[in-house]
Structure formats: C-alpha cells, structure tokens
Structure 1
C-alpha cells in the first residue's frame, strides 16, 4: 500500500514539472504573454485599459448649459432635440458627382433599351425628353439629398440640449487613449476644427489643464462661437472664463507653418460635402499637427468610412509641399496600418466604440456610440521604448465564461480574430486582464496562428 502511494506521489510531482516546463516554453515562444504587463497595477487597470466609467459634464458647463437653455425658451425643445439627434445619426455622405453621373447614365441606357424593344414609330426627340424626365425623377426619389446644416442661436441651443453631453463623452474617451499610452505628452497648444460648443476644450482641459497655454477654436458659425464663449463664462458675460487662453475663430490660421501640439476635429468631417474637400481639410489639419491628430465621428457605417478615407489619404498619399517631413503613423484604435478588416466583412460593419455618460437632464445614463482615429507624428511610445509589437484591440465586449473568455480582436496582422483566452494556454496574466477588459481596450496578447478563428461577420 505504501509503495502505491509513493509511486502516485512521484507521478504527480513529475506531471507538475512537465506542466510548468510546458507553460514556460509557451511563454518563451510568445514573450508578450509572459511579461508582467501589469507594471505593478491591478488587473482592472492593466496598461491596455482605456475605457472610462460613466462620464459627466464638468459642473461649470452643466450649470451654464442649463441656464442658457432655460433662458432661450425654445418651443417644443424635447421634440426638436429628438428630431435633431435622429437626423444627425442617420445622416449619410453626399453622393459624389461621378457616382451620380454613372447612375444617371445607367438609368438612361436602361430606359433607351426598354423603349427600343417596343414596336412602333416614336419621335426620338420626344422620347429623349421623356427619358430624361424619368431619369431625373428616379434620381430625386432614390438618391440621398444631402443639405448643409446652418446653426443659428436657436438651433445651437437645440444642439446643446441633444448632443453636447454625448460629444464630450466621446472626445474625452478618445483623448484618454493618448493620456494613458503617452503619459509624458504635455501639450501646450491645441487647435479644434469645427469646435461647436467647445466640448473639446473642456475635455482636453480635464487632462492637461496645467500645460495648455493656447486653445484655438475654429467654427464657421458665429452663433455657435458665442454660445461656446457663454459656456466658458458660466452664462455671465462679465465673469472670467473658466478656461484661460481660449480663442475663437471662424477660419483656420492662414500660415501653413503654424503647428499645434494637438489638433482635433469632432463630428465635423461629415459636414463637408464631398470627398475632395474632406481630403483637403484633413491634409490642412495634418500640416498643423506637431504631435497628435484626433478625428471623431458618429459610430455609424458612414462615420467610420469618413475616418477611413482620412486614414488612407494620410497614409498613402503625398502632399505636393511638405513643411514637416515626419510621416503619419496610426496611434489608435488600429493596431496596424493595413486596410480596415471590418470593411471586408459582408456586409461591411463600422468599427465603433461605446462610452456611458449622463445627459444634461435626467438621471439615467446613456450610451454614446462613436468612431475615432488618432494619428501621430511619431511611432507609439511603447514601440519606441522597448520595441514591443502593438497589442490587439477588443472590438466587442469580452464574454467571460467558466475558466475562459471569448475575445473578438483586431490584431496587429490586420485580421479580425476570435480568441478563447485561458490561463493554461495564454498565462494567468493575460487571462485575468481579459476578464477585466472592456470593448475598446487593448489586450496584452498577440494571437498565435493556431489558437483562433477568423471572424466572418459581426454577429458571431
């Protein structure tokens, strides 16, 4: 009996040694999973975490906004707020002239072919005019009619009630990516293109109040600039501004040599009518960027594709005149510089993220769904410091199960992958990080070829 116990004990010891050796070999093959990625932090705050808890507008902004809205006495404000929100969310890009011409030509050819199949003598001139009318009628019925939004004071107040809190939450969440991953970044100047109510100024001030010495807010709408200034002064024209050194302009600075540490544009590119003008605007903003360029749009298919147009332009096209020769590199959210793999899905789905926030009125939190893009003049700071490869980004909420976590990732190789993370296979560090991560965070994991499945569609 004693001999059996001794043999069993030796067998267990050998099995434990084999298990430990196996784990060490696996970790050595994938060094990203064996690092103490926590850097002394709890798993809930590992280096890849960039999500934020439910955000609220600063108390000064909240008080000023409510005062402005109450004094404006806009009729049917709740209905108009909902209508504007739905309009902005469902807004599409204007149809390009070339696309419109192609569609008109296709319709015209189809109608001529249909008319030719009918017997009888028909006056071609009369037939041509009828076909032309039918083409115009069909285009008016089926083509999206894009119209620019012109903000007067009343519409600006409606926008304040409907979109300011959500816009602030999205911008602050995106800026947190820079703050978290590049803690040494201390911007002294900021340019906000399409500044609207000044939410970027408030969001950036929450992170870099001690270093920001100049904030230039550019918006073509004079009434919106006035409302933004009233918010800064707490709706009291005689009071000092809560944030100093904020300057309002209706046009971008003329000199192409003037640069800012941080350049932003939130929900503005979608207000530019065509791809050529959007591309020109993006290049202008990039010329004025000395460190980071942040672009934010609605988390819709249209908003995401607008950002991908900007990304492709800055990564693939060259300007005629270069004042700053440092090329663009993608800082976030992509872990690579290849074509967005979500655009290759059938049907294509947007790459978007969620941020909880408290609205101006009410006690129930809401969700802001947004897409963002951050480009940098320098490689990511983690790559400069230790040559580390970019981590994967969670593109959906991880699903924690018993002793494993389902993670859907956008990986450094430009692929979307479904990885089942376990402590045995990926190390307990990565497993605990996965359980404590949320949609949009980076996961300290570079999937191996054999431990994942390709994501075929967004519903998997």
Structure 2
C-alpha cells in the first residue's frame, strides 16, 4: 500500500504558504459550499478560498486518490504511466499522487478553470519531482471534451470534479476519455448522490466499450438496492493547521469516496474473475470474519472465514473495506 500522506515536499510547501488564523472564515465557507453541492467556482471564489482548500481538503483528496491508484496498480501491476492528464486539477493533488506512486511519470498536464487554483498548482509544483516542475498547467472547460488536450495520455485522472458537472456532461466526458488510449481514474465524494451519478457514468462508459478494473467485479447493473451506495473510506492524518480549519478535536478524519478505474476494451474486472469487492467494514468475532461482497456474477453475497482455519483467518484479517476478496481467500 502506498503512503497516503502528503509527500513531505508538498506538505512543507503548503505549510509555508498557509496562515490558518487568516483562513478560518474561508474554510467555513468552503465546507458549507461543498455540503450544499456548490461548484468550486462558488465554494472557492477567491485566493483565500483556494488557500483554505489546500490546507483543509488537499490531504483527504490526496489520500483518496492514492488509495484508488493502488487499486489500479493491483489490477495492472505492470502499468507504468509516462504521461498524465489531470482534469479539474485544483492545486495539482492527483498529479502529485501519480508522480509519487509511479516513478515512470515524465510528463504531467493539469487542466483547471480557476486562475487562483492554477497559480497555486504552479507554485506548489516547483517543490515537486521534475515531472511536476515542468508540468503544463492550462485553462480549459472539462465539460467540453473537444477543448481538452489531445494527448495521448497513459493515465487520465478526474478527481472530485465530475460532481460539479451536469450528469449528461459527465457521461460525455468519461465516454470520450475511455475512447482514447490509456487508463481513466475517477474519484468522487462517497455520498448517495455521487454514487448514483457514478453508476450512470459507469453505464455510459460500458456502452462506449470500457473495461472496469475497479471497484466493480462485473459489467452488469449495480446490484445494490436504492437505499444503499458503493463507497469506501481512507483515514487521513490531520496537521494542527488542518484540525484548526476543520474545527476538529482528533488528529485524523475518515474520507469517504466513490470511484471507478477504467480502460478501453470490453470485459470486466481484472484481479480475479471469481472474487468480489468488500462493500463495507468486515464483521469480526472470535469465531469468524464476515465480508459483505459484490460478486463477479453481479450479485450481492457474504463470505465467512472461520477462525479455526488459522492461516486463512490471519490473511483475511488484513483485508478491509474496499479490498478485493478472491474465492481462494474465502
């Protein structure tokens, strides 16, 4: 598993530029705006809002994106992207995560509508790896695929950006992206609303010929009932500045997110055709571990690992919410 904390160079660069005592009002507006599903242009309207975002949201975004990149690396262990396209890049969080995980990354292109975010992304990138220092940071409207860089790109990331588009625009964008060479990673808030939108995008991309690498172990309709939604969680360490801006009393938070990892080509999940994705935190007792699964045949089910099978029980104990459970582990 990759380190899901901000790289030291990035954490230092953010800390040097942020004064939490001046940003509390902006951070409050930011949190309220996102809870109300406002666009970034509304929730982060100025440089103070962008600074508050970097201090309060960047660590969680980085952790969630890195966790999803780990899913891609598990599905395609030989994947070594050289070119990265980061759409709705904000301060460049996903670009930093890609460069940290894959040393092969040599070229980064960030697309961001906000001039304040682009300025911060360029400023922070000067503290990063060579691919970040030389990144192409440009303005474009991600709702208009024809205006985006042509590439080709080995990896395209859309992190916490589809949520701001009309659903039809989101479907068109991702269908266009998977029509190009390479892999596409989408990360969204882990809410019922965004799960529903992501499932609509999923269907559009399947119709466009996409292969789902994660989280879905099948290419059928989502089997979850209307009152449930597919998401997972990653724990994020909080700095003192982070805690202050978030009004937190504990040195961590749990970031809940939903995601898709896609590539061109018909077919379904890549890790194990007979396994399933763990849908929620496992239930542990002295006698067994019980996993709730979305299975490769498109159904929901459970897998139980008895404590009397010591080796299997020990291995199962290392698995958690969002992990993949193969049949030989259950």
Give yes or no for the alignment of 1:373 onto 2:235: no
Q: Which runs of 5+ in 1 are unaligned?
A: 1-49, 94-145, 319-326, 449-460
Bigger shift: 391-400 or 149-158?
A: 149-158
Could you say which residue in structure 2 is the equivalent of 1:308?
199
Give the CA RMSD over aligned residues: 3.0
1:65-80 equivalences under 5 Å are 65-70=14-19, 75=22, 77-80=23-26
Which structure shows the bigger proportion of residues in helix conformation? 1
Distance 1:353 1:430 in 2: 23
2:228 corresponds to which of 322, 344, 349:
349
1:292 and 2:179 matched: no
Structure with higher RCO (Cα < 8 A, 6+ apart): 1
- 1:183 counterpart SS class: coil
* Aligned with residue 199 of structure 1, among 93, 101, 105: 93
CA shift, 1:83, in A, is 3.9
Structure 1 residues 163-219: Cα deviation after superposition (integer angstroms, max 9, x where no partner): 11110110000001112332211111111110001001110011112x112110001
Q: Which residue of 2 aligns with 1:359?
A: 238
Any unmatched runs of 5+ in structure 2?
244-249
Greater per-residue strand proportion: 2
Distance 1:265 1:390, change over 3 A: farther
Which residue in the other structure is 1:17 paired with? none
Q: Which residue of 2 aligns with 1:39?
A: none
Q: Could you say which structure has the larger radius of gyration?
A: 1
Partners of 1:192 and 1:265 within 8 A in 2:
yes
Q: Give deviations 1:99-126, integer Å, cap 9, x for gaps.
A: xxxxxxxxxxxxxxxxxxxxxxxxxxxx
Equivalent residues of 1:190, 1:215 under 8 A apart: yes
What secondary structure does 2:182 align onto?
A: strand
CA distance in 2, matches of 1:245, 1:218: 14
Give the 3 Å change call, closer, same or farther, for CA 222–308 of structure 1 in structure 2: same
CA distance in 2, matches of 1:423, 1:84: 46
Aligned to 2:111, which of 218, 222, 240? Answer: 218
Specify which of 158, 163, 171 is matched with residue 279 of structure 1: 171
Aligned residues: 317
Residue 160 and residue 332 in structure 1: after superposition, are their counterparts in 2 closer, same or farther (change >3 A)?
Answer: same
Mapping 1:156-175, distance limit 5 Å: 156-175=50-69
Would the alpha carbon gap of residues 217 and 411 (structure 1) be closer, same or farther in structure 2, given more than 3 Å must change?
same
1:415 deviation in Å?
A: 1.7
3-state SS, counterpart of residue 190 of structure 1: strand
**Cα distance in 2 between the residues matched to 1:151 and 1:284:** 29
**Which of 71, 74, 82 pairs up with 1:188?**
82
The CA deviation at 1:253 is 7.2
Q: What's the secondary structure of 1:260's corresponding residue?
A: coil
Distance 1:355 1:376, change over 3 A: same
Q: 2:313, 2:273 → 1: CA distance? A: 19
* Cα pair distance change 1:63/1:174, threshold 3 Å: same
**Structure 1 447/359 Cα, relative in aligned 2: closer, same or farther at 3 Å?**
closer
CA separation of 1:229 and 1:408: change in aligned 2, threshold 3 A: same
